[in-house]
Amino acid sequence: MAKWGMVIDLDKCTGCQACTTACAMENNTLPGESWQDVLFYHQGKYPSAQMKWLPRPCMQCENPSCVHVCPTRATYKDMDAGGIVFVDWNKCIGCKYCMIACPYGVRFYADEKPLLEPDLRDIFPGSNGQLWSPPYQNPEQDWKRGIGIQPAGVVSKCTFCYHKVSKAPAGTPDLDEDIPELKEYVPACVRTCAPKARFFGDLDNPESQVNRLIGDKHGVRLKDHTGNKPQVYYLGAGAGVPAFEPKPRS
């Protein structure tokens, strides 16, 4: 079985947020429920001030702290699904301990105050157990893996678009949107990336492009000191998050 991994080249990423939009469209997430987000930072001061950005999906960690803390095994790492970390919405009790334990802040509890008004949940009220039911939605539903639109009271997160990835031919080293016969299996954020800053492939396959990129271009994992060991690697300058600074007090 493959071990799916993602490589994001920050030297190519333009911060356009097409990945964020594609993810939201593919997975019908609510505003603020950004399974895939691009975070923008400023660092330093004039004349050496920098503006940086960092695309941030779920890291699908090899040693995920969210899985260890979940009291019901609703959050689990599925080695038969490429090592992707899923949330079983049939088991999640909404205790939010996984959100506390995730060092990357990539888990969402959409049953909260809306980020934007009007609240889409009021415009498209949920039916069939869904938290909200937009008229156009991805027909793929697999609540055992947290795919589709979630019910109320559960945690949601990026699934590496498992509903697409799982249909790829076995043994495929890389899911590259430039290969016509594979493009339907490529995660939405990777497929839509205009500057081709994202790569998706099998970290266990020595022939995969993702492994070559990590090796040749010194791929790094963020917050590696936590021991969570992400399956997402970053290339290029700026692979780091500046320390938080509070707003200057008057």
Partner 1 sequence: MNQENIIKGPAGLGLLALSAIVLLASFGYAITSLSSQGHAAFNATSTVPWGQPIATYLYFALASSGLGLIASLPLVFGFRKFYPVVKRCIFLAFIILISGMAVLALELGNVFRMLWVIPLNLQIQSAMFWMGVFYLVDLVFLLWKFQKMDAGEWDSKTSKQVGIGSFLAVLLASGNLALIFGMMSMRPFWFDGLLPIYFYLTAVASGLAALVFFTYLAHGFSRDNMSAPLRNLLEGALPKFFGAVLGGTLLFIAVRAITGMYSNNPEIHLVWSEYLFASPVYQASLWLGILLPFVLMLMSSLRTLAGTQVLVAILVFGGLFAERFFFVVGGQVIPLFKGTWEWDILSYTPSATEWSLTVMGSAMLFTLWVLGERLLNLSAMPPETVMRGNADEAAATAHS
Among 11, 112, 184, 224, the residue binding partner 1 under the rule CB under 8 A is: 112
Among 232, 241, 235, which Cα is nearest to 59's?
Answer: 232
Query: Which residue, 73 or 167, is less far from partner 1 as judged by CB?
Result: 73
Region near partner 1 per CB under 8 A, out of 150-158, 168-176, 183-191, 203-211: 150-158
The verdict on 42 binding partner 1 (CB under 8 A) reads yes
Q: How far is the CB of 240 from partner 1 (least distance, A)?
A: 9
Q: CA 182: distance to chain centroid?
A: 20
- Distance separating alpha carbons of residues 164 and 172, to the nearest angstrom: 13
Q: How far is the CB of 214 from partner 1 (least distance, A)?
A: 21
The verdict on 45 binding partner 1 (CB under 8 A) reads no
The verdict on 41 binding partner 1 (CB under 8 A) reads yes
Q: What is the CA radius of gyration of the chain?
A: 18
Query: Which residue, 40 or 215, is less far from partner 1 as judged by CB?
Result: 40
Among 93, 179, 194, 237, the residue binding partner 1 under the rule CB under 8 A is: 93
The verdict on 56 binding partner 1 (CB under 8 A) reads yes
Among 18, 101, 120, 220, the residue binding partner 1 under the rule CB under 8 A is: 101
- Distance separating alpha carbons of residues 203 and 186, to the nearest angstrom: 15
Binding residues for partner 1, total number by CB under 8 A: 53
The verdict on 133 binding partner 1 (CB under 8 A) reads no
The verdict on 72 binding partner 1 (CB under 8 A) reads yes
Residues that bind partner 1 in the complex, under the rule CB under 8 A: 32-33, 39-43, 56, 65, 68-74, 91-97, 99-105, 107-114, 119, 121, 152-154, 222-223, 226, 241-247
